[in-house]
Amino acid sequence: MTLKEFLKSKTFICIVVLLVIALVCGGLLAIMNDLLAVTEEEKMQRAIKKIYGGNVDYEEIAVAEEYKTNEFGSVDGVYAFKDGNYLIKTTGGKGFQGGTVTLWIVAEYKDGAFEGFKSVAVDSYEKQTLMSSFDDNFTGVYSSDRSDRGVKEGKNFGLQNSDNEIGNIVSGATRTSNAFNNAVNAALYYIRNVLEGGK
Amino acid sequence: MNKAKFKSITSNGILKNNPTLRLVLGTCPTLALTASAFNAVGMGVAIIFILTLSNTIISLLRKIIPDEVRIPAYVMIIATLVTIVRMFLEKFIPTLYEAFGVFLPLIVVNCVILARAESFASKNPVLDSALDGFSTGIGCAIAMGIIGIIREILGSGSFFGIKLYDFRIEFFTSPAGAFFVYGLTIAAFNATYKAVENYIHKKNFALQLKELTKEAK
């Protein structure tokens, strides 16, 4: 087949048509992405609204480099609220297919002492296909009285109840449950080692 | 487009070939997102938007896209539209965006949209295709809305989030409840459709008989 024949062939036309459609669609998406992108500030306000039911004044706390990651995941942001509580954004690893779950966690403080978690909300996730199974019953465990007691005893969250762990699992979605627990444990690590000064 | 064609396309999409209640297509989002009426109607509106635009664009390009690569070309167009809807919802209606979860990107492979692209938009003019997409989307949205309203009233005791009473039967918010309500809605819709169709048929037959007897006399 000569070049001239190839340029007139059905194969070439198919390739060109698909490429043009891909380019136009890609260009359109790039423009829309610029127009409709959700900024970090908007995400932050949404997270606060979701947890507090309204906008609250806060101050961002710089996370020291050595505390940005720990054995459970990463601490992506820490914010101090005017009411004494802290909002911590963490990402827990070792989820389904090695993916992650990113959470917004409110650490409740009374008279300067850590009382437990007030609430936990999902920010985003990667590779987790069963996120719809994780309802308020699952996230509610982190802020339950049982968890508050366990956390004060120095326990972390895990898949099963044990001497060292407070169990929280969705049956059939073990890996994603693991990522959730790791995200909350990452916050616990930060609270114990930084906010509580290593207590 | 004449009046008869307009009537035929719209009644086809909404009633005769209703994708949800007659053809039983797009069952996944119908079952998963109808626990609340707001989510069901939201998904219906998203489908109307995507279906109308995808049918219009595919019809516009029907003479350019070679037959051999039509499916990947349709999927690219539909995927772009779905991504734009996803971005819009994430920016302006985050609660709905979160409620849709994985079912929003899955619209790309929704058989209702691909079926209309393949069977109608690729063979018909732009205006007809746009109307077909719109009416099919409306058919889908109405069906999802009805199922959503029934499930929310019985399962949560509320109507579009407004609390009606404290009594609730949790079964209706579960997947089994979704199948149950979906099945009953299909049965009710088809029984009503058949009854109306029989009535019209009998009426036309009586008219024809009257005319024939008139002619015979």
pLDDT digits (tens, 9 = 90+) for A47-83: 777 777 677 788 888 999 999 999 999 999 999 888 8
CB contact under 8 A, B68 and A10: yes
Q: Using one digit for the tens of pLDDT, what is the confidence trace for B181-196? A: 999 999 999 999 999 9
Nearest to B30 by CA among B212, B189, B161: B189
The answer, yes or no, to whether residue B67 has pLDDT greater than 80, is yes
Beta bridge partners of A114: A109
Tell me the chain A residues in contact with residue B90 when contact means C-beta distances shorter than 8 Å. Answer: 36, 38
The answer, yes or no, to whether residue A2 has pLDDT greater than 70, is yes
Please tell me the predicted confidence (pLDDT) of residue A4. 85
**Beta carbons of A63 and A95 less than 8 angstroms apart:** no
CB contact under 8 A, B66 and A13: yes
Nearest to A61 by CA among A192, A198, A190, A199: A190
Domain ranges for chain B: 3-216
**Beta carbons of A70 and A88 less than 8 angstroms apart:** no
Whole-angstrom Cα distance, residue B188 to residue B201? 20
Nearest to A154 by CA among A112, A192, A115, A109: A192
Confidence at A43, pLDDT banded by 50, 70, 90 = confident
Please tell me the predicted confidence (pLDDT) of residue B33. 87
Give alpha helix (H) positions in chain A: 3-8, 10-36, 40-52, 136-140, 145-152, 174-190
Whole-angstrom Cα distance, residue B176 to residue B184? 12
The answer, yes or no, to whether residue A25 has pLDDT greater than 90, is yes
Q: In sequence order, what are the residues at sequence separation of 6 or more whose Cβ sits closer than 8 angstroms to the Cβ of residue A181?
A: A92, A156, A157, A158, A159, A168
The encoded tokens of residue B64 equal 């350019």
Kindly state whether B108 is in contact with chain A, defined as any CB-CB distance less than 8 angstroms.
no
Please tell me the predicted confidence (pLDDT) of residue A8. 84
In whole angstroms, what separates CA A176 from the centre of its chain? Answer: 12
- Segment A17-23 mean pLDDT: 95
The answer, yes or no, to whether residue A157 has pLDDT greater than 80, is yes
Tell me the chain B residues in contact with residue A37 when contact means C-beta distances shorter than 8 Å. Answer: 87, 91
ipTM over 0.85: no
Nearest to A170 by CA among A115, A95, A78, A102: A95
**Beta carbons of A72 and A93 less than 8 angstroms apart:** yes
Please tell me the predicted confidence (pLDDT) of residue A141. 92
Whole-angstrom Cα distance, residue B203 to residue A161? 71
CB contact under 8 A, A10 and B66: yes
- Helix (H) / strand (E) containing B210: helix B175-216
Contact map slice: A 90-149 vs B, CB within 8 A: 129, 131-132
Kindly provide the residue ranges of all beta strands, DSSP E only, lying in chain B, ordered along the sequence. 158-159, 162-163
Whole-angstrom Cα distance, residue B23 to residue B136? 11
- Cα angle A143, A131, A93 (rounded to 5 degrees) comes to 75
CB contact under 8 A, A29 and B66: no
- pLDDT over 90, % of chain B: 62
The encoded tokens of residue B9 equal 């396309």
- Segment B27-36 mean pLDDT: 89
Contacts 24+ apart (CB under 8 A), B5-10: B5/B128, B6/B131, B9/B128, B9/B131, B9/B132, B9/B135, B10/B131, B10/B135
Whole-angstrom Cα distance, residue B142 to residue B53? 19
DSSP summary character for residue A69: B
- Segment B118-141 mean pLDDT: 93
Please tell me the predicted confidence (pLDDT) of residue A197. 61
CB contact under 8 A, B84 and A32: yes
CB contact under 8 A, B101 and A25: no
Please tell me the predicted confidence (pLDDT) of residue B194. 93
Of residues B32, B80, B88, nearest to A25 (C-beta):
B80
CA dihedral B130, B133, B134, B138 (to 10 degrees): 170
The answer, yes or no, to whether residue B120 has pLDDT greater than 60, is yes
Beta bridge partners of A126: A100
Tell me the chain B residues in contact with residue A10 when contact means C-beta distances shorter than 8 Å. Answer: 66, 68
The answer, yes or no, to whether residue A174 has pLDDT greater than 90, is yes
